[in-house]
């Protein structure tokens, strides 16, 4: 069965997708839906906590990673990292959503990737930002929502509550 993407608008771009959980895979999926050649880099079975997108053949995982190709690489291993860096040479975009300490430890931070490919577009998704007091925390939706609601709940003065809400919705404090 042949596959025809819904659009070819981004067909000339190669994207390396290092994302996990929800926000990152969704962003990469949008590029794939518009025709980009998105290559999902997956962890080998038994390494880490997997993709965190549900069972591989489950509907959530299939939806998050539709229209993508995949390659299994262990970036903690010398050979896996070397293969990834060779792929970076011809890529247009790298998308990741690791905590800042993780991407530096793996050697896949912006400066390192840009030294391999000067024209790379590097998309980094972080729940709590690249700097600041919470930068090392994982940023899942539940963490942000719960943290924002806790701050709102414990704010005694109305002005404090107003500062923690934007458009009526809790946000992650920076």
For the segment 24-41, what is each residue's pLDDT rounded down to a tens digit? 999 999 999 999 999 999
Minimum mean pLDDT among 12-16, 74-78, 100-104: which range?
A: 100-104
| Half-sphere exposure in the Cβ direction for 66 (13 Å, CA) | 13
Domain range annotation of the chain:
14-124, 141-170
Can you give the pLDDT at residue 56?
77
Closest CA to 19 of 44, 45, 46, 39: 39
Q: What is the pLDDT of residue 22?
A: 86
Do 42 and 73 meet the contact criterion of CB atoms below 8 Å apart?
yes
| Count of Cβ atoms closer than 10 Å to residue 8 Cβ | 11
Question: Is 14-124 a domain of CATH 3.40.50.10540?
Answer: yes
Contacts of 174 (CB under 8 A, 6+ apart): 128, 129, 132, 134
Global pTM reads: 0.77
Question: How far apart (Å, rounded) are the C-alpha atoms in residues 79 and 28?
Answer: 25
- Evaluate whether 29 touches 61 at the Cβ level (below 8 Å): no
């Amino acid at each position: 069965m042949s596959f025809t993407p819904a659009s070819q608008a981004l067909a000339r771009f190669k994207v390396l997708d290092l994302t996990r959980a929800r926000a990152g895979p969704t962003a990469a999926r949008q590029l794939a839906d518009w025709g980009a050649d998105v290559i999902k880099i997956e962890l080998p079975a038994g390494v880490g906590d997997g993709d965190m997108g549900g069972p591989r053949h489950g509907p959530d995982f299939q939806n998050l990673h539709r229209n993508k190709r995949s390659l299994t690489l262990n970036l903690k291993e010398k050979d896996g990292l070397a293969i990834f860096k060779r792929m970076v040479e011809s890529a247009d975009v790298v998308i990741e959503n690791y905590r800042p300490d993780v991407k530096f430890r793996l050697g896949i931070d912006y400066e390192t990737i840009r030294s391999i490919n000067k024209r790379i577009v590097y998309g980094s998704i972080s729940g709590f930002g690249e700097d600041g007091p919470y930068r090392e925390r994982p940023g899942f939706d539940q963490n942000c929502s719960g943290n924002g609601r806790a701050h709102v709940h414990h704010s005694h003065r109305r002005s404090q509550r107003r500062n923690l809400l934007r458009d009526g919705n809790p946000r992650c404090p920076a």
